[in-house]
Amino acid sequence: MTTAIGIVITDHIVAGRLEDHRLTAKPLRFPADPAEPDALAALPPSELVEILAGQIAYLAKTDPKPIDAIGVAIPGIIRDGVVEDSPNLTQVKGMRLAHDLKKSLAARSIATPVHIANDADAIAAGVAATHGRLEKLTRVWTIGNGIGYGRWPYAEGVWEGGHITVTLDPKERYCGCGGIGHLEGIMGYRAMRMRFLDLEPEEVFANAKHGDQRCLEFVDLWHRALAAATASFIHIAGPGRFYFTGHNVGYVELPRLRAHIESMVKMTPLQSFSLEILPPDDEIAFLGAGVSALWALTQ
């Protein structure tokens, strides 16, 4: 039996204790009130570490069995336990998260190995685990304030799919990282708010359903951008199954998305792809963080 603690940091923090890839204790959430979507944006890194350590210590005490691994998933470029960049959590850029968390846990007499992963990669691991696909390539788009691209099994690389270039239009400057023409600059929630200063993203998609021409054109652009990024990964790594999840996955229209991808992927060996929407699920996310941490022990 393997035991792990998985934690995922997005616009909130959620943590759970796992045994053999199953949740064994009630998950912990910060902030407790889901109506505080920006609670982490201004949180100092030191406070973030203390919150994580506190959640881990609490979950470790719920059962006397020892914890084999602790997995933490966070948006951004993650290498060797360091958050090299995180456009949607700018205060953690350069943070030695693994080192700082181990130090805080040591003060609580916890010496369990800590593994830091990208949040989208963790979700891909969680999806693979729940679908019995740990031995197969699993790719996931997470659609929310930012856009994440996760893959399992883990492969060395950056994999910042949300920042893939999908247009050469120099006016497309809405990505949080400052780059021009990025997928996240079209699809990201924050980017949509910047683009439509007179409408919320929910209103844009609602107006499109009622025939508003400006909104209709944007919704089609939104899907074409996602299709372009997906087609790029099909051309690089081959076809297969792509999952779509996240807080804003409800905006995805699979027939429209598939039609756009089919217009971009014309080589017959690459056309055997499939698309599936998954409701956003925190449990899948921290399950994947735990799976990633346990996998890291074997490397």
Q: Which of 105-109, 144-148, 187-191, 222-226 has the lowest mean pLDDT?
A: 144-148
> Do residues 269 and 288 share a domain?
no
Is residue 79 predicted with pLDDT exceeding 90? yes
Mean pLDDT of 219-237: 97
Q: What is the DSSP letter of 107?
A: T
Is 128 inside a domain boundary?
no
266 within a domain of the structure (yes/no): yes
**Is residue 173 one of the residues assigned to a domain?**
yes
pLDDT score recorded for residue 196: 97
| CA pair distance 6, 27, nearest whole angstrom | 10
Q: Are residues 34 and 118 in the same domain?
A: yes
Q: Quick one: average pLDDT of 23-48?
A: 84
Shared domain for 82 and 212, answered yes or no, is no
Are 13 and 143 in a shared domain? no
Does residue 259 sit in the same domain as residue 143?
yes
Q: How confident is the model at residue 279 (pLDDT cuts 50, 70, 90)?
A: very high
Q: Determine, yes or no, domain membership for 81.
A: yes
- 98 and 159 in a single domain? The answer is no
Residue 33 has pLDDT above 90, yes or no: no
User: What mean pLDDT do residues 72-98 have?
Assistant: 93
Asked whether residue 282 carries a pLDDT value surpassing 90, the answer given is: no
Q: How far apart are CA 85 and CA 79, in angstroms?
A: 10
Q: What is the pLDDT of residue 35?
A: 67
Residue 164 sits in the same domain as residue 110: no
Q: Is the pLDDT of residue 70 over 90?
A: yes
Residue 169 and residue 43 share a domain: no
pTM for this predicted structure: 0.90
Q: Has residue 90 been placed in a domain? A: yes
**pLDDT level of residue 162 (50, 70, 90 thresholds):** very high
In this predicted structure, the answer to whether residue 155 has a pLDDT above a threshold of 90 is no
Does the pLDDT value for residue 19 go beyond 70? yes
pLDDT band at 172 (very low <50, low <70, confident <90, very high): very high
**Average pLDDT along the chain:** 94
Domain membership of residue 226 as a residue range? 135-277
Q: Which has the minimum average pLDDT: 35-49, 116-130, 136-150, 274-288?
A: 35-49
What pLDDT sits at residue 42? 80
Query: Same structural domain for residues 252 and 151?
Result: yes
Within 8 A by CB and 6+ apart from 219, the residues are 204, 205, 208, 251
Phi-psi region of 211 (alpha: psi -120 to 50; beta: other; left: phi over 0): left
Look at residue 215 and tell me if it is in a domain: yes
CATH number at residue 54: 3.30.420.40
Q: Looking at per-residue confidence, does 87 or 80 come out higher?
A: 80
CA distance linking residue 257 with residue 246, whole number of Å: 16
The answer on 149 and 95 residing in a single domain is: no
Whether residue 76 lies inside any domain: the answer is yes
d(CA 274, CA 283): 24
Residues 178 and 101 in one domain: no
Same domain, yes or no, for 139 and 262? yes
Q: What percentage of the chain reaches a pLDDT higher than 70?
A: 99
Whether 129 maps to a domain, the answer reads no
Q: Measure Cα distances from 192 to 160, 184, 203 in Å.
A: 19, 9, 11
Number of domains in the chain: 2
pLDDT tier, 37 (very low <50, low <70, confident <90, very high otherwise): low
Question: Does residue 226 surpass a pLDDT of 70?
Answer: yes
DSSP class of 35 = T
